[in-house]
Amino acid sequence: MIIDMPSTNTSQVNAKLVELREAGGMTTLGRVLTLVIATEDGQQTEEAIDAANDASREHPCRVLVVARGAKRAAARFDAQVRIGGDAGASEVVVLRLYGPLADEGASCVEPLLLPDAPIVAWWPFDAPAVPATDPIGRLADRRITDSANTKRPIKALEQRAASYTDGDTDLAWTRLTSWRAMLASALDLPPHEKVTEATVTGAADSPSTDLLAAWLAESLRVPVRRVKADKGGGIGSVSLQRRSGPVELVRPDGKTGTLTQPGQPERKVALQRRKVNECLAEELRRLDADEIYADALRRWRKLNTAKSGTKTARKPKAGAS
Amino acid sequence: MAAAQRKNPLRDERDKRLPRIAGPCSVVIFGVTGDLSRKKLMPAIYDLANRGLLPPGFALVGFARRDWEDEDFGQVVYEAVKEHARTPFRQEVWDRLAEGCRFVQGSFDDPEAFHTLARTVKELDEERGTGGNHAFYLSIPPGAFPTVLQGLQTSGLTDQDSGGWRRVVIEKPFGHDLRSAKELNRIVNEVFPEESVFRIDHYLGKETVQNILAARFANQFFEPIWNANYVDHVQITMAEDIGLGGRAGYYDGIGAARDVIQNHLLQLMALTAMEEPLSFSPRALRAEKAKVLNAAHAVTPFGETTARGQYLGGWQGGTKVPGLLQEGGFAKDSVTETYAAITVAVDNRRWAGVPFYLRTGKRLGRRVTEIAVVFKRAPHLPFDDTSTEELGQNALVFRVQPDEGVTMRFGSKVPGNAMEVRDVTMDFSYGHAFTESSPEAYERLILDVLLGEPSLFPINEEVELSWEILDPVLANWAANGKPEGYRAGSWGPESANEMLARNGHEWRRP
């Protein structure tokens, strides 16, 4: 069910939610969190809502979508409430804010937050430079960005690194989980030799590839070469050098990976790129600070600053970690 | 197993995202053409692959009498996956899995077939790199266990020293009484050491069952009242709405108590009643379960504390259904019970005097499994008699399936200008019932087998203790009378209601 509420305010929206609950008993499920999606109003808003609805099947939640409309317009607050089949296992409230209200997302969201439940903020596209101090980010216990989904992914990752605060996370990191898991389980098996160096290949503008290289550098404490591939998107391959030969995980087509280890047959492994809904569901599973991500990000920043010299080096910010 | 856990620089205990992926291995299924294999095992294996939890190079071997080639077997797996898998079908995942499908034709008593199997497994080690790690899933009647285990042993397939691990997975029934259970354990343990034996009780793989432990031991407000001071009684129910058509071969002479109470219900009871384990390590967990099973016994006289029934034909939910005696394959004078209820007492300080009622049945009102902890009434009610007339007893219910979750029942004032208190319920449901990403019980259990993680599998001691509880009841039933008929679609025979009424209790309608 979709209910449009043009030119309204949060009190009316709240009243509507209570009314729907009483009238239909439609929202009897326990909600475990409030997910605030902050985005520009437009076509892409729906994609984000769909992903959130999917994720809500695992994590029943209230989804509040803050869609910022034209700033140069009269102040206006349109709301849309979706429940039942149109909202997965969640209840979705889309808030469209125009004019001076466009920057008032946080104050419009606040009255609609679930009592006591954790709050997760998600910027599916462009994110504020410092998510933790953004008005919506400040409300949230966890802040999800997606640097790969911005116009300048590496630039976005630089911002993430410069402003990291506990509770930050990025879907570029989430997309890596299957790669990391595969590599970790490859090293679970004998021979337990030390990795001496590593190479990571991937698209030039792939923040996931950068983070993977940084994670390997951080946890293996060895030099990691980051090779920029001209073809294909995302991560292409990883190679870990050991005395007996390299452990290689190669994914040429974005779907199937091949794992090769010395003395063992070549193994194929399904390693498809993860969809946003999967990544989001993974993110919602944990609401504490992701220390491993923080370490990888810090390492990436160090490597990146050292390598590019003064060109893209940013002023080190206090409180960056 | 332990060696693989040696300092891996890419593993960090703070890293909670990394899933546990099984090491290189294969699963060999005996009885691969059976229902369980098609509906549960093969789909679960695909779902695991789809979630990226199976190792690259994983292999699946089917063993059965059919005259199939690897491709035919692949086709069978494909159809099972298409029809029953819970996660969406992905061609690239399927292709990887299909590459590892092998089929070995033969009967269980054919040594040649086992040699072929040994060769196939060896080839897999070389081609797919399964590293000598193989799990044998015996989805076959227990009568065939000795032959198959013998076959595995003589062909050298059970050789634990070959560098990899060899594990065996067996399904219920784990015997039909204490004696046969011991015999079965002996046969299995002759070939596989106990730490390589994984007994599947699929209830223990369910999220909600694991949630009992989380609810009890991670929270502050349940544990203080989790004892005889506050708990009046406990009802554990597993009801099915289906009948036994087509299952006579397995069920006739076995009955509901052996089929369900001995394993599922007593395990659920153990989890509900056990003390807090020192840790969640398999050993600590099993120690507590064994302790509580040791303290438990069925309450006598059985004539008053147990009930059994057999469903009669009639109309159930808009369909005409036959009674048990009319189902094909059952003797016309079969005394196999399709409904069983027993009263168990746990003799320790926490539970003295609290009856645990365990019931299960076929062709009952609806399909439901739940654990209801019913609390005592408040010692004093400062209301008029009339205002609390409709107030029942507080209850905490773990809904195991379907509609997994927790329900709490308590009294609340009815809106209006008179003080009137009535029972209301508060529900928690994780929405898991309809998520595609929560693992099915078999997925979790198969993965645990491959990882060698034994927490969720009952050991031989627990099996034997459960039989010790049930055996006296079965002996009493065998010697006295026969099951009482009950209407299909009802909640069991009248004697079941009387059984609780004697203690002033009443079955919940789940």
- Residue from B1, B6, B7, B8 whose CB has the most chain A CBs within 10 Å, to mutate: B8
Residues A200, A86 within the same domain: no
List, as own/partner pairs, every contact residues A7-10 make where C-beta atoms lie below 8 angstroms and the sequence separation is at least 24, other chains included: A7/A76, A7/A77, A7/A78, A8/A77, A8/A78, A8/A79, A9/A77, A10/A108, A10/A110, A10/A111, A10/A112
Of B16, B56, B127, the CB nearest to A286: B16
What's residue B414's pLDDT? 83
Q: Ranked by mean pLDDT, which of A42-46, A83-87, A255-259, B427-431 comes out on top?
A: A255-259
Number of domains in chain A: 2
Q: Is the pLDDT of residue B160 over 80?
A: no
Region B333-360: mean pLDDT is 95
Q: Is the minimum CB–CB distance between B95 and chain A shorter than 8 Å?
A: yes
Does any domain span residue A293?
A: no
- How far is it, in rounded angstroms, from Cα B202 to Cα B199? 9
What's residue B126's pLDDT? 87
Does any domain span residue A237?
A: yes
Q: Give per-residue pLDDT as tens, B281-305.
A: 889 999 999 999 999 999 989 999 9
Cβ contact B30:B62 at 8 Å? no
- How far is it, in rounded angstroms, from Cα B442 to Cα B447? 8
- Complex ipTM more than 0.95, yes or no: no
Region B271-289: mean pLDDT is 93
Residues A113, A212 within the same domain: no
Residues A42, A137 within the same domain: yes
A140: amino acid identity, one letter = A
CA distance B307 to chain A (A): 37
A310: confidence class by pLDDT, cuts 50, 70, 90? very low
What's residue B55's pLDDT? 87
Does any domain span residue A286?
A: no
The closest alpha carbon to B133, from B178, B196, B44, belongs to B196
Partner-chain contact B10 A291, CB within 8 Å: no
Region A190-194: mean pLDDT is 84
What's residue A321's pLDDT? 40
Region B434-441: mean pLDDT is 60
Residues 6 or more apart whose Cβ sits within 8 Å of residue B385 = none
What's residue B3's pLDDT? 43
CB atoms < 10 A from the CB of B219, how many? 9
Quote the domain boundaries for residue A225: 177-270
The closest alpha carbon to A281, from A120, A150, A40, belongs to A120
The more confidently predicted of residues A279 and B355 is B355
Cβ contact A274:A293 at 8 Å? no
Please give the sequence-ordered ranges of beta strands (E in DSSP) within B139-239, or none if there are none: 166-171, 197-200, 231-239
Q: Is the minimum CB–CB distance between A280 and chain B shorter than 8 Å?
A: no
Please give the sequence-ordered ranges of beta strands (E in DSSP) within A196-321, or none if there are none: 197-203, 224-229, 235-241, 247-250, 256-260, 267-270
Q: Is the pLDDT of residue A54 over 70?
A: yes
Residues A129, A181 within the same domain: no
The closest alpha carbon to B185, from B175, B176, B177, belongs to B175
Does any domain span residue A123?
A: yes
Q: Is the pLDDT of residue A213 over 90?
A: yes
B1: confidence class by pLDDT, cuts 50, 70, 90? very low
Of B10, B405, B437, the CB nearest to A281: B437
Q: Give per-residue pLDDT as tens, B6-18.
A: 578 888 888 888 8
Does any domain span residue A87?
A: yes
Token pair for residue B497?
């209601």
Exposure class string for A42-79: b at 16+ Cβ within 10 A, else e: eeebebbbebbbbbbbbbbbbbbbbbbbeeeeeebbbb
What's residue B438's pLDDT? 60
Q: Ranked by mean pLDDT, which of A159-168, B49-58, B156-165 comes out on top?
A: A159-168
Do strands B319-321 and B339-346 pair parallel, antiparallel, or not at all (unpaired)? Answer: unpaired
Residues A184, A67 within the same domain: no
Domain end position, chosen among A126, A145, A164: A145
Q: What is the four-CA torsion angle of A33, A39, A43, A47, rounded to 10 degrees?
A: -30
Residue B316 φ then ψ, to 5°: -125, 115
Residues of chain B with C-beta less than 8 angstroms from the C-beta of A267? 24, 55-57, 128-129
Catalytic residue list contains B264: yes
- Mean predicted lDDT score pLDDT of chain B: 89
Chain A CA closest to residue B404: A29
Q: Is the minimum CB–CB distance between B24 and chain A shorter than 8 Å?
A: yes
Domain end position, chosen among A145, A164, A198: A145
Q: Which DSSP helix (H) or strand (E) runs through A96?
A: strand A91-98
- How far is it, in rounded angstroms, from Cα B117 to Cα A221? 45
Q: Which residue has the tokens 């008593």?
A: B109
CB atoms < 10 A from the CB of B148, how many? 20
Does any domain span residue A283?
A: no
Residues A127, A235 within the same domain: no
Cβ contact B373:B216 at 8 Å? no
Residues 6 or more apart whose Cβ sits within 8 Å of residue B113 = B63, B104, B105, B106, B107, B151
Domain end position, chosen among A104, A124, A145: A145
DSSP 8-state code for residue A167:
T
What's residue A247's pLDDT? 93
Residues 6 or more apart whose Cβ sits within 8 Å of residue B502 = B304
The closest alpha carbon to A31, from A16, A21, A23, belongs to A21
Region B124-136: mean pLDDT is 89
CB atoms < 10 A from the CB of A270, how many? 21
Q: What angle do helix axes B70-84 and B91-99 make, rounded to 10 degrees?
A: 150
A307: confidence class by pLDDT, cuts 50, 70, 90? low
Give the A window 218-247 contacts with B, CB below 8 Å.
219-221
Name residue A120's beta-bridge partners. A35, A142
Residues A34, A125 within the same domain: yes
Exposure class string for B168-200: b at 16+ Cβ within 10 A, else e: bbbbbbbbbbbeebeebbeebeebbeeebbbbb
Residues of chain B with C-beta less than 8 angstroms from the C-beta of A291? 14
Q: A7: burial class by Cβ within 10 Å (0-12, 13-18, 19+)?
A: exposed
- How far is it, in rounded angstroms, from Cα B490 to Cα B241? 9
Q: Give per-residue pLDDT as tens, B89-101.
A: 888 889 889 989 9
3-state secondary structure of A217: helix
- Residue from B5, B18, B429 whose CB has the most chain A CBs within 10 Å, to mutate: B18
Longest distance between any two alpha carbons in chain A, whole Å: 70
Q: Give per-residue pLDDT as tens, A255-270.
A: 888 999 888 888 888 8
Q: Is the pLDDT of residue B178 over 50?
A: yes
What's residue A308's pLDDT? 53
| pTM reported for the whole predicted model | 0.83
Q: B9: burial class by Cβ within 10 Å (0-12, 13-18, 19+)?
A: middle
Cβ contact B39:B80 at 8 Å? yes
Residues A189, A130 within the same domain: no
Token pair for residue B317?
């939910």
Q: Is the pLDDT of residue B436 over 50?
A: no
DSSP 8-state code for residue A212:
H
The closest alpha carbon to A125, from A102, A97, A146, belongs to A146
- How far is it, in rounded angstroms, from Cα A155 to Cα B236? 58
Cβ contact B456:B474 at 8 Å? no
A216: amino acid identity, one letter = L
Give the A window 116-155 contacts with B, CB below 8 Å.
none
Does any domain span residue A72?
A: yes
Q: Give per-residue pLDDT as tens, A121-139.
A: 999 989 999 999 999 999 9
Residue B18 φ then ψ, to 5°: -65, 120
- How far is it, in rounded angstroms, from Cα A175 to Cα A118? 23
Q: Give the CA radius of gyration of chain B.
A: 24
Q: Which DSSP helix (H) or strand (E) runs through A285?
A: helix A276-285
Q: How many H-runs (helices) and E-runs (strands) does chain B carry?
A: 16, 18
Residues A92, A202 within the same domain: no
3-state secondary structure of B432: helix
Residues of chain A with C-beta less than 8 angstroms from the C-beta of B93? 270, 272
What's residue B431's pLDDT? 56
DSSP 8-state code for residue B40:
I
- How far is it, in rounded angstroms, from Cα B159 to Cα B152? 9
Residues A76, A129 within the same domain: yes
Q: Which DSSP helix (H) or strand (E) runs through A56?
A: helix A43-56
B230: confidence class by pLDDT, cuts 50, 70, 90? very high
Does any domain span residue A161?
A: no
Name the catalytic one among B134, B264, B297, B432: B264
What's residue A53's pLDDT? 82
The closest alpha carbon to A120, from A56, A57, A73, belongs to A56
Region B389-409: mean pLDDT is 87
Residues A124, A197 within the same domain: no
Please give the sequence-ordered ranges of beta strands (E in DSSP) within B317-475, or none if there are none: 319-321, 339-346, 356-361, 368-375, 395-401, 405-413, 421-429
Residues of chain B with C-beta less than 8 angstroms from the C-beta of A180? 10, 17-18
Token pair for residue B431?
């929405």
Residues A137, A7 within the same domain: yes
Q: Which DSSP helix (H) or strand (E) runs through B296?
A: strand B296-298
Chain B CA closest to residue A175: B17
Q: Which DSSP helix (H) or strand (E) runs through B288?
A: helix B282-295
Of B7, B428, B437, the CB nearest to A30: B428
- How far is it, in rounded angstroms, from Cα B469 to Cα A38? 59
Q: How many H-runs (helices) and E-runs (strands) does chain A carry?
A: 10, 14
